[in-house]
Amino acid sequence: MAAEIVNPKDGLDEDMIDPAFALHRGGKMAVQATVPVRDADDLSLAYTPGVAKVCSAIAEQPELVHDYTWRSQVVAVVTDGSAVLGLGDIGPAASLPVMEGKAILFKQFGGVDAVPIALDCREVDELVETVARLAPSFGGINLEDISAPRCFEIEEQLKKRLDIPVFHDDQHGTAIVTLAALRNASRLAGRTLGDLRVVISGAGAAGVAIAKILVEAGIGDVAVCDRKGVVSRDREDLNSAKRDLAGFTNKAGLVGSLESALDGADVFIGVSGGTVPEEAVATMADGAFIFAMANPNPEIHPDVARKYASVVATGRSDYPNQINNVLAFPGVFAGALQVRASEITEGMKIAAAEALAAVVADELSAERVIPSPFDERVAPAVTSAVAAAARAEGVARA
């Protein structure tokens, strides 16, 4: 539904009607100098002639760019506006408030500076080329709100071309937080990941990434469902991303609908929207975990989920156990930038999930399997774990 903006001719400012407009007027961020320019001496150091010495040094030793510019602490938040929140394809201009919001979350929760970049291009090759040409200004690239399956190809191409971290948060941020919550739910129930059969509703960016990280972490089995049912090897209507997905999921060989896959399942993870009938939820295993993360309307309402599940999580802030990407991406990038990592590996993602889970490992309850985004322990724990993992995997350069 389009936002209603008050016509100034009516004699009322929209800022007096809706506080969201008041907050966003003029944008939510600005550039601020970190050095003073108070007089001619300051000017000669911050700009010419002093800056020429630094430029010459970097030209001779390119790695010095990390020490003498902002590059080692700044991330580009890049979108084409094709899959923005629950709004869909609203274009680059309309996506900018979200990208600004993402940038301030980087700063608030991870101490990382970020620049929102909304690109007016849709072709994969064009977008990849544009980001690659912008990359020398940044220490990392956070891809945001780009539609599937294009997002997979864009990320893979950029990872091949660039020697800095490239991270599509809709995929990997969601996956990291989901794995952390699932680890703690399993601990609370006295189970292991290897015991669990998972059903994921949604075969887009988040669903694919969650499936990948769960398999990497040792899940018992995971079946992913799209609108036509279980993504299985015998289906002939799959795109390349779903064919790859079918190759490493669904060891049980399930076919048919989401509802049939839920019969006896230990875990439901929803990243698709829509509604799962209560009759299907009732067929899940005793003590199941339900992570229904569609916003604002979960696939399974928490009131329904609690009838059948021992642990319930959503994507909403007004229910316990919010699966919120802000628990992951600020610390992931902070850790990667700290050691000048060339990439973000699967091992670094799993380390982030383990560190995130450990924050509340001694405080577990059915309503606390994941920390609050405002828990000040989160970012330092994730940052440290990611930096250590980068060193262990040989992708750190500092």
Catalytic residues: 47, 102
Among candidate residues 212, 208, 85, 209, the one with its CA nearest the CA of residue 146: 85
Cα(385)–Cα(265) distance, rounded to whole angstroms?
32
Residues facing 118 on adjacent strands: 79
Using DSSP, state whether 148 is helix, strand or coil.
coil
Cα(291)–Cα(121) distance, rounded to whole angstroms?
34
Question: What does DSSP assign to residue 52?
Answer: H
Question: What does DSSP assign to residue 279?
Answer: H
Q: Which residues contact 133 (CB under 8 A, 6 or more apart)?
A: none
Cα(215)–Cα(193) distance, rounded to whole angstroms?
10
Cα(23)–Cα(88) distance, rounded to whole angstroms?
23
> In what order do the strands lie in the sheet containing 229-230?
229-230, 221-226, 197-201, 267-270, 288-292, 309-314
Give the tokens for residue 112. 């990382």
* H helix runs in the chain, sequence order: 19-24, 40-46, 50-60, 65-68, 91-110, 124-134, 150-161, 169-189, 205-217, 240-248, 258-262, 278-281, 302-308, 329-338, 346-359, 378-392
User: In which residue are the tokens 């900018």 written?
Assistant: 96
Cα(341)–Cα(37) distance, rounded to whole angstroms?
33
